[in-house]
Chain A
Amino acid sequence: MQTYDLEADGLRGLNAALHAQTSETNQTQWEIVNPRGSHAIAVGLDAPIEVNVKGSTGYYCGGMNKQATVHVHGSAGPGVAENMMSGTVVIDGDASQYAGATGNGGTLVIKGNASSRCGISMKGIDIVVHGNVGHMSAFMGQSGNMVVCGDAGEALGDSIYEARLFVRGSVKSLGADCVEKEMRPEHIELLRDLLDRGGCDAKPEEFKRYGSARQLYNFKVDNAY
C-alpha cells in the first residue's frame, strides 16, 4: 500500500502520482493521511485503484473520477465527485453542497447527510445518500438515479428531465415538473441493487419514486410570464 502525507508532500505531488497510475498498475491501494480539509484531493483519476482519504476534505474531492474508488473517511466539502464518469466515491460522513453535480456515471455513496443541490444536473450517476438531502437536489437532473434514505429538502427535482429519484422519508416540496410516480416491479429491482451497492439495509418497498411530469420539454405559452 502507498501512503501519502498530504500535509508534508503537497497536493500537486499527490494528484500527479495518482494520475501516473495506469490500468496495469500494481500500486492499487493508496492511503492519504492529513487531508485537513484540502481542496481537489484525488481529482481526475483514471485507473482501477482504491484511494482511502483518512480525514475530511475540502472542495471537489474525487472530481471527474474514472474507474477509481475514492473513500473519504470523514466529511466532504462542496462539489465532491463533481462530474464523475465512472468508479465509486464513498463519503463516511456528510457531504456539502452540490455533491455529485453533473455526474455522468459511477456511484456516489454518502453515509451521512448531503446538503443543498445534491446531484444537480446529474447525467447518469447513481447517488445513494443514507441520510437527508438539502434543497434543490437533483435540479435539472437528466439521467441516473438518486436514492435518499432520509428526507429531501425543498424543491426536489426542480425542472427534472429523466433522472429517477427514490426517497424513503418526507419530501419538503417538489420542484417544478417533478411528480411522484408509481413504483413498478422494475423500480423495486433497480432500487434493491442501488441500496445494495450503497451499503444500505433499507427495504426498497419503503421508498417512493419521483420523476419528471415531462411538461417542460416543449414551449407552452401558458408557462410564459
Chain B
Amino acid sequence: MCGIVGLFLKDKALEPQLGAMLTDMLITMTDRGPDSAGIAIYGEGTPGVSKVTVQSENPDQDFVDLADKVKALVGGPVSLTRRDTHAVLGVPAGKAEELRKQLKEVAPTVRVMSFGDTLEIYKEVGLPKDVAARFDIASMAGTHGIGHTRMATESAVTTMGAHPFNTGSDQCLVHNGSLSNHNSLRRKLNREGIHIETMNDSEVAAAYLTWKMQNGATLGEALENSLDDLDGFFNFVVGTKDGFGVVRDPIACKPAVMAETDQYVAFGSEYRALVNLPGIDGARVWEPEPATVYFWRHGETTTPNKKAA
C-alpha cells in the first residue's frame, strides 16, 4: 500500500497555498504509508539558474562548505538554501545534470534528490506530518506538486527509497503498486546510459519515462508506452516542468480518485485526500479509467487518451 496526492493549479491565486494544500492532503494519506514521505514541488525558477536539491545524513557537517566545493566543480555563482537535511543548490543554468553526476567526487556523503529549473524534492523516512514539518512544506509556493506516503514492499525503508523519484531534468514520478520486471528493465536502461540510483522498482519506472522522453516522446506518449513495457501493478502520477500526468495499469486494483475545477486538477489515492480542497463539493470527481493516460499542461486543455487494447 502507498498513498499518492497531486495538485496541478490552474488558478494563479492558489499558488502561494500549494505547499499548505499538499501538506494537508499528504497527512490524510498517513495510514496508507507511514514509513516515509516525500513531496515534489514545482516552484518559482530564476532565469539562468538551475536547481539541484541534495540531502545529507550529516547536514551540519556536509553543507558548511558545499557551495564552495560545487563552485569549484561547475564554475560560476552557486547558492545554497538549507532546509533541514536537504539543501537547494542554485547553479548556472545547464550545469545541474553535470553536477548530479559529479557531486560524489567532491561530497561523497551528499545525495542528489532532484535536478531541474523549478523542481525541488524533499523526502525522508518518518510520518508524513513530521516529514512535512521538517521541511516546512506548508510555506512553499508553486504551480504544481506531487506527494507520496510510503509503505515499502520492494526495497528498503530509506531516504533514497522514498518517493518522488527524479531521473530527468524537472521530471518526477510517484508510484503506488509494485513492478515485476524492474530488474531486467533496469539493466536495459543502464545499457542505454540512463542513471538509476537505487534498487527500487519505482525509480525504474521514472527512469523508463525519462528514457522515452529523451528519445523524443512526449510525457503522454511515454506514459502510453509504459502500459506495454511495464509489468505489474501501478498508479503513476508524474510531473514535468509544466505538466501533470496520471496513468493506471489495466487491472487497476490500486485506488485512485481525481477532481477537477476551474482552479485545479487534484489526484488522491482516496477521496479523503481531497475533502479539504476549495470547491470540492462542486468539483467534477471521478475515478481515472484503467490503461488510460490523463495529462494536463499549463495553458492547454487536454482530454484523456484511452490506450487501445
The answer on a CB contact under 8 Å between B290 and A116 is yes
B271 lies within 8 A of chain A by Cβ: yes
The answer on a CB contact under 8 Å between B270 and A58 is yes
**Cβ-defined partner of A38 (8 Å) among B253, B272, B309:** B272
A115 lies within 8 A of chain B by Cβ: yes
Interface members, chain A 71-93 (any B CB < 8 Å)? 75, 77-78, 93
The answer on a CB contact under 8 Å between B252 and A116 is yes
Which A residues lie within 8 Å of B275 (CB)?
A: 36-37
The answer on a CB contact under 8 Å between B272 and A37 is yes
Digitize A126-161: 1 where CB-to-B-CB distance is under 8 Å, 0 elsewhere.
Answer: 000000001100000000000000000010000000
The answer on a CB contact under 8 Å between A75 and B285 is yes
Interface members, chain B 92-122 (any A CB < 8 Å)? none
Which B residues lie within 8 Å of A36 (CB)?
A: 272, 275
Q: Whose C-beta in chain B lies nearest to the C-beta of A93?
A: B285
B177 lies within 8 A of chain A by Cβ: no
Pair count A-B, CB < 8 A: 44
Which A residues lie within 8 Å of B251 (CB)?
A: 116
The answer on a CB contact under 8 Å between A37 and B290 is no
The answer on a CB contact under 8 Å between B270 and A97 is no
Which B residues lie within 8 Å of A57 (CB)?
A: 271
The answer on a CB contact under 8 Å between B309 and A154 is yes
Minimum CB–CB distance from A160 to chain B (whole Å) comes to 19
Which B residues lie within 8 Å of A65 (CB)?
A: none
The answer on a CB contact under 8 Å between A75 and B271 is yes
Number of interface residues of B (CB under 8 A): 17
**Cβ-defined partner of B287 (8 Å) among A37, A115, A154:** A115
A94-B286, A94-B287, A116-B290 known; A77-B252 Cβ under 8 A: no
The answer on a CB contact under 8 Å between B286 and A77 is no
Kindly state the separation between the CA atoms of A101 and B109 in the bound complex, as whole angstroms. 51
The answer on a CB contact under 8 Å between B255 and A97 is yes
Kindly state the separation between the CA atoms of A56 and B309 in the bound complex, as whole angstroms. 32
A96 lies within 8 A of chain B by Cβ: yes
Q: Whose C-beta in chain B lies nearest to the C-beta of A114?
A: B287
Minimum CB–CB distance from A63 to chain B (whole Å) comes to 16
Kindly state the separation between the CA atoms of A94 and B287 in the bound complex, as whole angstroms. 9
Digitize A115-130: 1 where CB-to-B-CB distance is under 8 Å, 0 elsewhere.
Answer: 1100000000000000
Kindly state the separation between the CA atoms of A25 and B287 in the bound complex, as whole angstroms. 38
**Cβ-defined partner of B271 (8 Å) among A56, A116, A134, A154:** A56
Digitize B285-309: 1 where CB-to-A-CB distance is under 8 Å, 0 elsewhere.
Answer: 1110010000000000000000001
Kindly state the separation between the CA atoms of A147 and B250 in the bound complex, as whole angstroms. 24
The answer on a CB contact under 8 Å between A135 and B290 is yes
Kindly state the separation between the CA atoms of A116 and B253 in the bound complex, as whole angstroms. 8
Which B residues lie within 8 Å of A116 (CB)?
A: 251-253, 290
A96-B255, A97-B255 known; A58-B272 Cβ under 8 A: yes
A38-B272, A77-B271 known; A97-B286 Cβ under 8 A: no
The answer on a CB contact under 8 Å between A78 and B272 is no
Which B residues lie within 8 Å of A94 (CB)?
A: 286-287
Q: Whose C-beta in chain A lies nearest to the C-beta of B255?
A: A78
Kindly state the separation between the CA atoms of A115 and B274 in the bound complex, as whole angstroms. 19
Kindly state the separation between the CA atoms of A215 and B309 in the bound complex, as whole angstroms. 27
Kindly state the separation between the CA atoms of A97 and B271 in the bound complex, as whole angstroms. 13
Kindly state the separation between the CA atoms of A154 and B255 in the bound complex, as whole angstroms. 19
Digitize B258-273: 1 where CB-to-A-CB distance is under 8 Å, 0 elsewhere.
Answer: 0000000000001111
**Cβ-defined partner of A77 (8 Å) among B250, B253, B255, B290:** B255
The answer on a CB contact under 8 Å between B287 and A96 is yes
Minimum CB–CB distance from A108 to chain B (whole Å) comes to 17
Minimum CB–CB distance from A74 to chain B (whole Å) comes to 9
Which B residues lie within 8 Å of A59 (CB)?
A: 270
Which B residues lie within 8 Å of A75 (CB)?
A: 271, 285
The answer on a CB contact under 8 Å between A37 and B270 is yes
Kindly state the separation between the CA atoms of A56 and B268 in the bound complex, as whole angstroms. 14
Which A residues lie within 8 Å of B252 (CB)?
A: 97, 115-116, 134-135
Q: Whose C-beta in chain B lies nearest to the C-beta of A78?
A: B255
The answer on a CB contact under 8 Å between A134 and B272 is no
Q: Which residues of B contact A (CB under 8 A)?
A: 250-253, 255, 257, 270-275, 285-287, 290, 309
Q: A37-B274, A56-B271 are in contact. List 10 more A-B contacts (CB 8 A).
A: A36-B272, A37-B272, A37-B273, A37-B275, A59-B270, A77-B270, A94-B286, A96-B287, A115-B252, A135-B290
Q: Which 5 A-B pairs have the closest CB atoms?
A: A37-B271, A37-B272, A36-B275, A115-B287, A56-B271
